[in-house]
Chains A and B, each alone.
Chain A
Amino acid sequence: MKRNVFYVFVGIIAFLEVSLLWLAIDTDNALLIQVGFVVGVILVYLARRTVTEVIEDERTSLISEKSALRTLEVLWIVIFLLSLGSIVLSFNRPFLIIIRGSPPPPPAELPNFGIFGFVQLFLLCLIIFLYVGFRIYYARKYGEYESDEE
């Protein structure tokens, strides 16, 4: 498979994934998008192995490595902040009242656990944005967008 054909193939898979997400929401079937996503990733991986031209070398690996490292460096701080906030929210009952044996009444409603899905989605989007941003920066630094003289 040629490199450009591979990129077109990835684009088609991405389009199908978005369509599948819409269908999964419409039919209220979470398994549909979950299985579809895994199948999509496997298809892209298999297609990538059939590319005959060189699409990865030591320079592209260096760009990926540096981008991933910087993403991780920012991400652990964000995750740590979110975790600290969650801990404070979970243990925000006054200490002295608990010691005296009269704890405050439990909340009328359980917290909405669906919010964790959105937090995870936020983190996932953050990872993607950070990685793409750092990748653009390092790709520019290591000559990815240099103009051709030939």
Chain B
Amino acid sequence: MKNKIKVYRAMNNLTQDALANAIHVTRQTILAIEKGKYDPSLELAFKIARYFGVGIEEIFTYEKQ
């Protein structure tokens, strides 16, 4: 699964730490998601999308590995 979290973070001038605190996860989890090492649960994906005020498919796109 690919994502645009890093892009949206840059657009909102947001650090990994700030985003992690806002959605109650560790900063390492944000880093792992951004690098594609970890696919978030549906709930966390919705939380991230909602935080940026966009739809889930705007940030996450499914690609077969």
Q: Residues on A close to B: CB < 8 A? A: 54-60, 62, 141-144, 146, 148-150
Contact = CB atoms under 8 A, between A and B. Distances in A.
Instruction: Classify chain B: how many residues form its interface, as a range.
Output: 10 to 19
Given A142-B37, A150-B15, A58 B25 contact: yes
Given A54-B26, A142-B32, 7 more contacts: A54-B20, A54-B21, A56-B26, A143-B31, A143-B38, A148-B31, A150-B15
Contacts of B37: 141-143, 146
Contacts of B21: 54
B26 A55 contact: yes
Interface in B25-40: 25-26, 28-29, 31-32, 35, 37-38, 40
Given A54-B20, A54-B21, A143 B15 contact: no
B65 interface: no
B42 to A, nearest CB: 11
Interface string B27-64: 01101100101101100100000000000000000000
Contacts of A141: 37
Contacts of B26: 54-57, 59-60
